[in-house]
Chain A
C-alpha cells in the first residue's frame, strides 16, 4: 500500500499571534512552529496502515518555504519513508492554487491513499484536502474519526451534529483526519537519527494566482472581562442575580 501524507508547518496552538508590519500576515518572530496538529493524526494513521499491511511506502508532501523541511523531517522521524517539498515562498489564503499544486505532484505518485489533516490551525481553511480529492477525481471523505480499510474498500466514521455518519468508499481515496482517530506517536531517538538520512526531494512550484486574498488582518477586540464577583460559595447568589438582571443571560 502506497500512502501520501500531506503536512503543513503551522504555529503551535499555544502561540500568541501578532499582526506583522504588512497588516495582512502575522509577525513570525518568537512564534514556535510545529507540524499542524491534525496532520499528526494523518501521519500516525499512515504508519499504522503500513504496519498492519506489513509493507508499503509512505511519502510525506509539504508545500511551503525551506523551513517546511523540518515538518517533513518530523514525519520521517515518526516513520515515513521519504519526503517531497513543494517549495514556494508564497503563502496564500486561497486553498485552490495550493490544492492544484499538490494534486499535480500526487498525480505522478499513484497512491492508494492520500491523507490530510482535516484543517490547518493557521488559516483554518479546511479545504485543500477535499479539493485535491475532487481535482484527482478520487473518492474523498473528510474529518474521519474512525477508519477500517481493506485492499480495495474502506469504511470511515465522521461526526456530524447530533450523530455519526458511517461512510463507505472505494480505494484509491483521499481522506482528512479528525482528532480522536489515533494517538500520534512521539519520534524515538532512533527514528530521529534515521530521518536525517531519508531523502527529501525539493520541487520548486509556482502557484496559480489567488482569487481569495487577505486585505486586512486584525486582532479580535479585547473582552472587557476581569470582574470578580466574589470568593467562594457566598458569591453564588450575587452571580445568579447578575446573570439574570445585568447580563439577562438566564
Chain B
C-alpha cells in the first residue's frame, strides 16, 4: 500500500495548529498517488488531541513515544522518523523551526532528496512534484522528486486545512533509540515579548525607517492591538539592522517570509528584499509620505501622507469599530 507520512508537531502534549496543514498537504498527495495518510508525532507520552487530524484526512495517527521526546530531540526524532519513513512513498513535514531542522536530518539518514518550503504539491507520472519559492520568493521553481520516499516540507500558512474525514485510528508506539541523543534541548524560554510570531499572524503591521525613532513603534503596537489578537508587529531590514527592533520581527529576504490575510507597510519604501518577504500577503496596505515609493506599486490600498497623523487616526477608527 502506498503510504504518505505526515510528520505532525506537538508541544506540551498537544498538536500544534500547523499539524492540520501538514495533513491537508499529505492528503492531497496521497489522493494523487492513490494511497493512505499515516500521521506520526513524536512525544514523551500522550498527545491528547492526536486523533483530531483524522478530520483532515489522516487514516492513522501514530504517537512515537520516548522519554527524551518531552521537548524536540533532533537526533531522537530523526532516528525514529527515518526508521518509519524508509518504506513510505512520501514524507511531509512543515517548514517550521522544528521541521526545518528535522527534515534534512531524515533526508540525509535515508539518502533521499528533500524539497523545502513547498507551496504546492502534485504528481507527474511516477514523480512527486512541488512548487517552492526560490530567491526568497522572487521566483518559483517547479521541482520533480525522483526516488522513494520523496521528502517535502510545506510552508506554514499555505495549505489551508481542508476537512476530508478519515478514521484517524490512534496507536501509541514506544521507540527505542540506538544511543542517547547528543543534542539536547535543555529548556524553552519564553520570547522577550509575549507577542504572536510575525510568521504566524494573520495580520501584520510592519514599520520601516519612516518611523524615525524606535520609540515610535509603540504607535504600531497600538495599531496591531486595535486589529485584534491575530495581529503582530513586523519590521523592515533597515530598522532591524539599526537595532531598533529584534531580528525575530524582520520581514524580507534575510528575515521571515509572511503570507498574512492583511499586511500594513508603514514608512517602508519597499526594497526588493522586503517585497520578497511579503508579496504573498492577501491584502497589502501601504502608508508612506513618498508617492513614488515602490511599495505603492504592489499595495492594494495606499495612503500618501504623514504616518504620524494617519496611523493614530486609523487606530482610533479601528478601536471605534471594535467597541461597536
Interaction A to B: yes
- Expressed in whole angstroms, the Cα–Cα distance for A145 and B273 within the complex equals 21
Q: CB within 8 A of B139: which of A17, A163, A178?
A: A17
A212 contacts chain B at the CB level, 8 A cutoff: yes
Q: What is the 8 Å Cβ interface bit string for chain B, positions 236-255, against chain A (1 contact, 0 not)?
A: 00000000001110101111
A214 contacts chain B at the CB level, 8 A cutoff: yes
Which of B134, B191, B199, B253 has the most A CB atoms < 10 Å from its CB? Answer: B134
Q: CB within 8 A of B135: which of A11, A38, A99, A239?
A: A11
Q: What is the 8 Å Cβ interface bit string for chain B, positions 49-73, against chain A (1 contact, 0 not)?
A: 0000000000000000000000110
Give the residues from 24 to 78 in chain A that come closer than 8 angstroms, CB to CB, to chain B: 24, 26, 37-38
Q: What is the 8 Å Cβ interface bit string for chain A, positions 98-138, against chain B (1 contact, 0 not)?
A: 01000000000000000000000111111111110111000
Contact residues on B (Cβ < 8 Å of other chain), bracket: 35 or more
B254→A13 contact, CB < 8 A:
yes
B197 contacts chain A at the CB level, 8 A cutoff: yes
A1 contacts chain B at the CB level, 8 A cutoff: no
Instruction: Given A131-B107, A212-B144, verify A161-B317 contact (CB < 8 Å).
Output: no
Give the residues from 255 to 304 in chain B that come closer than 8 angstroms, CB to CB, to chain A: 255, 261-262, 271-273, 276, 279-280, 282-285, 291, 296-304
B137→A220 contact, CB < 8 A:
yes
Smallest CB–CB gap between A37 and chain B, Å? Answer: 5
- Expressed in whole angstroms, the Cα–Cα distance for A228 and B296 within the complex equals 8
Q: Quick one: closest B residue to A237, CB to CB? A: B317
Which of B107, B246, B306 has the most A CB atoms < 10 Å from its CB? Answer: B107
- Expressed in whole angstroms, the Cα–Cα distance for A100 and B49 within the complex equals 39
Q: What is the 8 Å Cβ interface bit string for chain A, positions 202-217, against chain B (1 contact, 0 not)?
A: 0000000011111111
- Expressed in whole angstroms, the Cα–Cα distance for A165 and B73 within the complex equals 11
Give the residues from 194 to 235 in chain B that come closer than 8 angstroms, CB to CB, to chain A: 196-197, 199-200, 227
Smallest CB–CB gap between A70 and chain B, Å? Answer: 20
- Expressed in whole angstroms, the Cα–Cα distance for A124 and B132 within the complex equals 9
A26→B302 contact, CB < 8 A:
no
- Expressed in whole angstroms, the Cα–Cα distance for A26 and B306 within the complex equals 39
Q: Specify which chain B residues have a CB less than 8 angstroms from the CB of A126 in the assembled complex.
A: 100, 104, 116-117
Instruction: Given A17-B135, A140-B105, A226-B297, verify A220-B140 contact (CB < 8 Å).
Output: yes
Q: Quick one: closest B residue to A135, CB to CB? A: B108
Q: Specify which chain A residues have a CB less than 8 angstroms from the CB of B133 in the assembled complex.
A: 124, 220
Stretch at the interface among B23-31, B37-45, B182-190: B182-190
- Mostly, the B contact residues are mixed
Smallest CB–CB gap between B13 and chain A, Å? Answer: 16
B101→A142 contact, CB < 8 A:
yes
B310→A232 contact, CB < 8 A:
yes
Smallest CB–CB gap between B219 and chain A, Å? Answer: 14
A229→B139 contact, CB < 8 A:
no
Q: Quick one: closest B residue to A226, CB to CB? A: B297
A93 contacts chain B at the CB level, 8 A cutoff: yes
B117→A124 contact, CB < 8 A:
yes
- Expressed in whole angstroms, the Cα–Cα distance for A161 and B261 within the complex equals 19
Q: Specify which chain A residues have a CB less than 8 angstroms from the CB of B100 in the assembled complex.
A: 126, 142-143
A233 contacts chain B at the CB level, 8 A cutoff: yes
Which of B138, B189, B247, B285 has the most A CB atoms < 10 Å from its CB? Answer: B138
Instruction: Given A121-B253, A219-B139, verify A226-B303 contact (CB < 8 Å).
Output: no
Q: Specify which chain B residues have a CB less than 8 angstroms from the CB of A242 in the assembled complex.
A: 301
A167→B303 contact, CB < 8 A:
no
B185→A166 contact, CB < 8 A:
yes
Smallest CB–CB gap between A197 and chain B, Å? Answer: 32
B272→A240 contact, CB < 8 A:
no
B188→A164 contact, CB < 8 A:
yes
A14-B271, A166-B185, A213-B146 provided; 8 other pairs, C-beta below 8 A? Answer: A126-B104, A130-B101, A130-B105, A165-B185, A168-B184, A212-B146, A217-B139, A227-B299
Q: Using a CB–CB distance below 8 Å, which chain A residues touch chain B?
A: 11, 13-17, 19, 24, 26, 37-38, 93-96, 99, 121-131, 133-135, 139-143, 145, 155, 157-170, 178-180, 210-220, 223, 225-233, 235-237, 239-240, 242-244, 247, 249-250
